Structure 1
Amino acid sequence: MDYTIIDAHAHLWLRQDTVVDGLAIRTLENGRSEFMGEIRQMVPPFMVDGVNSAEVFLSNMDYAQVAAAVITQEYIDGIQNEYLAEVVARYPGRFFVCGMCEFRKPGYLEQARELISQGFKAIKIPAQRLLLKEGRVMLNCEEMMEMFRYMEEREIMLSIDLADGAVQVPEMEEVIRECPRLKIAIGHFGMVTRPEWQEQIKLARHPNVMIESGGITWLFNEEFYPFNGAVQAIREAADLVGMEKLMWGSDYPRTITAITYKMSYDFISKTPELTEADKRLFLGENARNFYGFADLPQLPYIKNMSE
């Protein structure tokens, strides 16, 4: 396999200890977490302490020949800015990290300014979590727009996951129109498998917008490996915006409770439905160009004992 592989959507944390929508999320043992009223297998059971560390991920990356990864964030894991700052300082060539603010209440503009002053090159918004019972936080509200202009001026990227379908697409259209130089990565492949997912994909028709596929194997989990429906969705998205606007992402580590890390991309490398050029762009070259990765390691294939 002659591809440079970059994971455009993964997560790291030392411990989950947070509350979302009034419901607790807590690390337990054997890879399980208390998750919003039930017990869920959050990470593989061999991660007995629930620690989702950079070192364990790097071991998975090296084995799967993944050269680099973008570490995004989600409120269900708690805000991980302090740990991610340490991670990128230790492994600057392997990780690109996103800072995250508390966007569910006012005051995040100052938080974003502080994160940028600390050296974060991207800000993450889990926008699907902003449809609050007490009132929706609009992506085109005054404080958001001021933050986006501040980011655009300083060449800070926006990583964002949107609510299902087209609910937040008009807001994003306004953000893109007002900040045409703000580089934006939209996650979860537009929540493919949900109605109107293509409307999120179409946002990548704007030159500053990319789409990443973090969570696509979760969204097609009922179908399971080799995820033929996911391959067809990638082809449909490429027809809408071009393969050069799409990036692979794994949503590690949650997705590897069902499959191995390597399986989260090798269904792409093995499919006959995509050309070699398409695979090269999707699996790494688009992310390399968008995030500016350089001096990536050459990772050898290590033969398994089962071979």
Structure 2
Amino acid sequence: MIIDGHSYCFPPLGEANGFPTVQEHLRYLQREMADHHQPVWRLRDWAVGDNSLLAEPQDKTLQGLKEVNFRSGGYGRFVWTVEGEEYAKQYLPPYLTDLSHPPEMLIAQMDYIGIDRAVLHAHPIFGFLNDYLADCVQRYPNRLFALASIPEWKIEHDSQGIVNEIQRAYSKGLNGLQFSVHNRYRYSVTESWDAPACRPFWDGVTALGKPIFFTICAPCPGSTVEDYLSQLRIWQGWLTRYPNVSAVLTHGFPWRLFLSDHGLHLPDALFEPFRTSSAKLQLLFQISLGNVWDYPYTQLHPTIVQLVETLGSDRLMWGTDMPNVERFCNYRQNLETFRTHCQGVISDQDINNIIGGTAAQLFNLGDSQ
């Protein structure tokens, strides 16, 4: 069984998508685009621009945004206007004409290359889509899992209300929670996400018994390795407090922080939370490094070997970030990076675990399902 452990379905991104208003969603999108590494260009002549057109470089919160009529430009891009000139950033592949990725499109893509199931992740970039994703799962129960999302910046102020929303989402068929640490910093919350005031929330959500997928990053772009490790230490404390909860670190590590002349250099400190827990690690390389190296990404082989030897392949999960990853490589290439090009690098059993076995175990799927 092949399972894409990290993909997305979403309605058009120019809509509210669970935010109170369309404008609030667009403001969040503008904040994310202001820190994203995809290039900026001027539509008139393709002249190179930069992210400072969208926000003050030193202010990583929503307060730092500039008024530029940020909007959906269709065909996978966002556009905005500065001094009468239109600029763009290609965040999604151009075939997403209205910046939507419905489940029918994802399943057609899965069918084409032979992927059995996919796990739909959640992020405010796409909106708060618990009901939308529940509908996806209800319509395609043998193909899709999905994760719930919440406003992470509110957990200490409305812990029971947010736990109730997660429980409601689970009752409609969602299969776990995605918790994105950096969303709190977007809304100027500097208190740790595992501070004592957050404990009622965590006690409530862990009692629901579903996996929790953590998206953990340093507080803001430009942060150091030590900034990231400080967040991992918080997560390690959380894992110690809730040892019986199935936890997954999404995306893997922030791979760009660990680039070296010869590939990736992963310090031992990254693995500390895994040594004291049963947490799993997602392997999403191309979405981060797809514009650094080219297919078949053989530069990754030493890192993949290191991860298998350090953690074991039964704790590693392949994922793609579809459809976003098709900025750099197509769906088949993403799968073949492991299924074909890791043959002889790691064992066949390790490959099978990574591209589906670990995820199947996490969601209690038998071999025949």
TM-score range, shorter chain: 0.7 to 0.9
Report the CA distance between 1:209 and its aligned residue: 0.8
Identify the match of residue 212 of structure 1 among 269, 282, 295. 282
Provide the secondary structure at the position in 2 that maps to 1:7.
strand
Unaligned runs of 5+ residues in structure 2 are 15-24, 29-60, 219-227, 259-265
Tell me: CA distance 1:200–1:71, structure 2 relative to 1, closer, same or farther (3 Å). farther
1:244 and 2:289 aligned:
no
1:52 and 2:106 aligned:
no
Q: Read off the aligned partner of 2:168 and give its amino acid letter.
A: S
Tell me: CA distance 1:201–1:219, structure 2 relative to 1, closer, same or farther (3 Å). farther
Q: Name 1:305's counterpart in structure 2.
A: none
Q: Name 1:14's counterpart in structure 2.
A: 11
Moved more, 19-28 or 86-95: 19-28
- Larger Cα Rg: Structure 1 or Structure 2? 2
Identify the match of residue 129 of structure 1 among 164, 183, 186. 183
1:78 and 2:147 aligned:
no
Q: Is the 8 A contact 2:316 2:354 kept in 1?
A: yes
Report the CA distance between 1:201 and its aligned residue: 4.2
Report the CA distance between 1:61 and its aligned residue: 0.6
Tell me: CA distance 1:55–1:138, structure 2 relative to 1, closer, same or farther (3 Å). same
Report the CA distance between 1:62 and its aligned residue: 0.7
The aligned runs of 1:145-294 (5 Å cut-off) are 145-164=199-218, 165-195=228-258, 199-214=269-284, 216-221=285-290, 222-271=292-341, 272-294=344-366
Provide the secondary structure at the position in 1 that maps to 2:253.
helix
- Root-mean-square deviation (CA, aligned residues, Å) is 2.5
Q: Name 1:61's counterpart in structure 2.
A: 110
Identify the match of residue 116 of structure 1 among 167, 170, 182. 167
**CA–CA distance in structure 2, aligned partners of residues 185 and 255 of structure 1:** 20
**CA–CA distance in structure 1, aligned partners of residues 317 and 272 of structure 2:** 15
Q: Name 1:303's counterpart in structure 2.
A: none
Q: Is the 8 A contact 1:9 1:213 kept in 2?
A: no
Tell me: CA distance 1:291–1:185, structure 2 relative to 1, closer, same or farther (3 Å). same
Corresponding pairs, count: 293
Provide the secondary structure at the position in 2 that maps to 1:77.
coil
Q: What TM-score results when the alignment is normalised by the length of structure 1?
A: 0.86
**CA–CA distance in structure 2, aligned partners of residues 100 and 25 of structure 1:** 24
Unaligned runs of 5+ residues in structure 1 are 298-307
Q: Read off the aligned partner of 2:304 and give its amino acid letter.
A: I
Superimposed CA distance per residue, residues 232-260 of structure 1 (whole angstroms, 9 cap, x where no aligned partner): 22221222211111010001111012211
Provide the secondary structure at the position in 1 that maps to 2:238.
helix
**CA–CA distance in structure 1, aligned partners of residues 134 and 70 of structure 2:** 23
Tell me: CA distance 1:39–1:220, structure 2 relative to 1, closer, same or farther (3 Å). same
Moved more, 269-278 or 100-109: 100-109
Report the CA distance between 1:148 and its aligned residue: 2.4
Superimposed CA distance per residue, residues 123-163 of structure 1 (whole angstroms, 9 cap, x where no aligned partner): 11111333347342412123433222223222121111111
Q: What TM-score results when the alignment is normalised by the length of structure 2?
A: 0.73
Tell me: CA distance 1:202–1:249, structure 2 relative to 1, closer, same or farther (3 Å). farther
Provide the secondary structure at the position in 2 that maps to 1:263.
helix
